[in-house]
Amino acid sequence: MNILVIGTGYVGTTTALVFAEMGWKVTGLDTDQQKLNQLQNGILYFHEPGLKELLIKHNSSGQLQFTSNKKEAIQKSDVIFICVGTPSRPDGSADLSYVKQVAEDVAYHMNGYKLVVNKSTVPVGTQEKVTEWISESNRHAHPYDVASNPEFLREGKALEDSLHPDRIIIGTKSDRAAKLLQQLYSSMTCEIIETTPRTAELIKYASNAFLATKISYMNELSRLSDRLDVDIREVAKGMGLDLRIGSRFLQAGIGYGGSCFPKDVSALQQTAEENGMKLQILEQVVNVNKSQYLYMLDKAKKKLGDFAGKKAAVLGLAFKPDTDDIREAPSLRLIQDLLGQQATVHLYDPIAKLPASFTHDHLTVASMAEDVFKEADAVFICTEWTMFQELDWKSIHPQMKQPNLFDGRNMLDAKTMKSFGYYYEGIGYK
C-alpha cells in the first residue's frame, strides 16, 4: 500500500514518518520547495523529540520520499492523507481553503480508486464537503472514498502518541475504506473505533475542548486556592487519583496555548453558533484562559508597585516544553504587557524563537538562561523546561536587584526558594 501525505507541516511530517516506521511506502507532498529541501536533507525545521532521527533513518531506508510533483504523487498512491493547515478566520471558524485545494488536486490527477483521508482538524461536515469538491472536479468519474481519521498528537510527545496511541478513530460509511484503514493500522494494539465521519470530526474537537476545559477549571480554582491558603497542587493530586477524573491536564498555570486548543475551541464554538446555540461552558473556558496570565502579573504588581523602569526576567517562550511552538503562547501576552507598562524584559528559551517582527527597544533575548537575572526585579517562569529546575537558584539570588520569583508553572519548590531568600509565588501555590 502506497501512502501519500499532502502537507508536510507538523502533523503531516509526523504522520509520514510514523507510517514509514510502520513499514509502509510513504510520499510527502508539498508546494513549499524550501521545506521539502530541508526534509530531503534530513533537516527537521521544527522541534519535536525523536522525529529527526526517524527522518534520517527513513530518508536512507527508501521508505520515505518528498516531492512537489502532484500528478505523480497522487497517481502512484492508494491512500491519500490530507494534512494541510486549517487556520482560524477572524470569526473563529476554520478556513478550509487549503483542504479544498487538495480535494481539487486529487480529483484532477486521480487515475483510479483513491481513499482520501482527512487527518487535518476540520469542522463537522467537512468529509461531505471534500466528497463534493472531488466530485465536482473528477473529470473521469474515478471511484473514491473520503474518510475522517483525526490525529491526537501532543506537541513534545508526538512520536510516542503516534506509535502508541490511546485510540484510533475511523470515520467512514464505506466498507472498502474501513478495511483499508484497518489494514493500515493493523500493527497497532489500541482500540480502533469505526464511526460516521461527522462523529469522528466531532470527537476531535470535543476532545481538545474538554482538555482545555480541565485546564481552565484548575486555573480558576487556583485563584480560589490562593484566597483560601490552599496548595492547588495537592488539590490536583487528590482529584487526579479519582479514576473518573484522572491526573492529566490538572496542573494550574498561566494558561494554555499552542496550535490546537485555542483554534479548536473557537471552531467548536463557531460550529455551535452556526447551528443556533452557544456552548456556554466553553465561553468561560476561553475567558479564564485569556485572563490567567494577568493573574500572575497582578501578583507581581502587588509586590513591585508597578513595572515602569523595572527589569523583568522571563524564562520560557514556548507554550509548553519540548516544542518550539509559540502560537498563542501566554508568554507572548505577558511580555507585551510588561513592555507596554515600560518594563525592560530579558527573555530566554532553550528552543523557541521570537518572530522577526517581534522587536522592542526594551526587549533582549539572551543566549543563556544565566544572562537574564542580573539586576532583575522579578523573574517570571512561563514554560516548564526541566533545565529551569536545574538552575543554581541559590547563586542567582544575589545577582538580582529584587529577588522576586513568580512561577507561572508551579515547577519550583516554594519552601526551597524561600530558604534561598526569594519572595516566591506560584499559581495557587506559595
Q: How many domains does the chain have?
A: 2
Residues 174-196, mean pLDDT to the nearest whole number: 96
Q: With 90 as the cut, is the pLDDT of residue 76 above it?
A: yes
DSSP 141-169: ---EEEEE----PPTT-HHHHHHS-SEEE
Question: What is the reported pTM?
Answer: 0.93
Tell me if 239 is assigned to some domain: no
Question: Grid coordinates 515602569 are at which residue?
Answer: 308
User: Same domain, yes or no, for 279 and 375?
Assistant: yes
* Active-site residue list: 260
User: How large is the average pLDDT for residues 298-321?
Assistant: 96
List, as one string, the DSSP characters of 225-272. Answer: HHHHT--HHHHHHHHHTSTTT-STT---SS---SSSHHHHHHHHHHHH
Evaluate whether 412 touches 253 at the Cβ level (below 8 Å).
no
Q: Is the pLDDT of residue 259 over 90?
A: no
In a domain, 235, yes or no: no
**Is residue 320 over pLDDT 90?**
yes
Gap between the Cα atoms of 259 and 324, Å rounded: 11
Residues 15 and 118 in one domain: yes
Q: What angle do CA 66, 68, 70 make, to 5 degrees?
A: 110
* Same domain, residue pair 293 and 378: yes
Residue at 414 is within a domain: yes
Q: Whole-number mean pLDDT of the chain?
A: 95
Phi and psi dihedrals of 344, rounded to 5? -100, 130
Q: Does residue 88 register a pLDDT over 90? A: no
Domain final residue, candidates 195, 219, 244: 195
Range of the domain at 293: 261-425
Which tens digit of pLDDT belongs to each residue from 4-54?
Answer: 999 999 999 999 999 999 999 999 999 999 999 999 999 999 999 999 999
Mean pLDDT, residues 404-415:
98
What is residue 140's predicted lDDT score, i.e. its pLDDT?
Answer: 79
Helix crossing, 51-61 with 10-21: angle to 10°? 60
Pairing verdict, β 378-381 and 404-407: parallel
Query: Grid coordinates standing for 332?
Result: 507572548
Within a domain: residue 213?
no
Same domain, 312 and 189: no
Exposed (0-12), middle (13-18) or buried (19+): which is 38, by Cβ within 10 Å?
Answer: middle
pLDDT at 296 over 90: yes
For helices 51-61 and 33-40, what crossing angle results, to 10°?
80
pLDDT of residue 94: 87
Shared-domain flag, residues 283 and 190 = no
* C-alpha cell at position 321: 516544553
Last residue of a domain, one of 195, 224, 249: 195
Question: Would 281 be classed as within a structural domain?
Answer: yes
- CATH number for 85: 3.40.50.720
- Mean pLDDT for the stretch of residues 375-389: 97
Q: Do 14 and 131 fall within a single domain?
A: yes
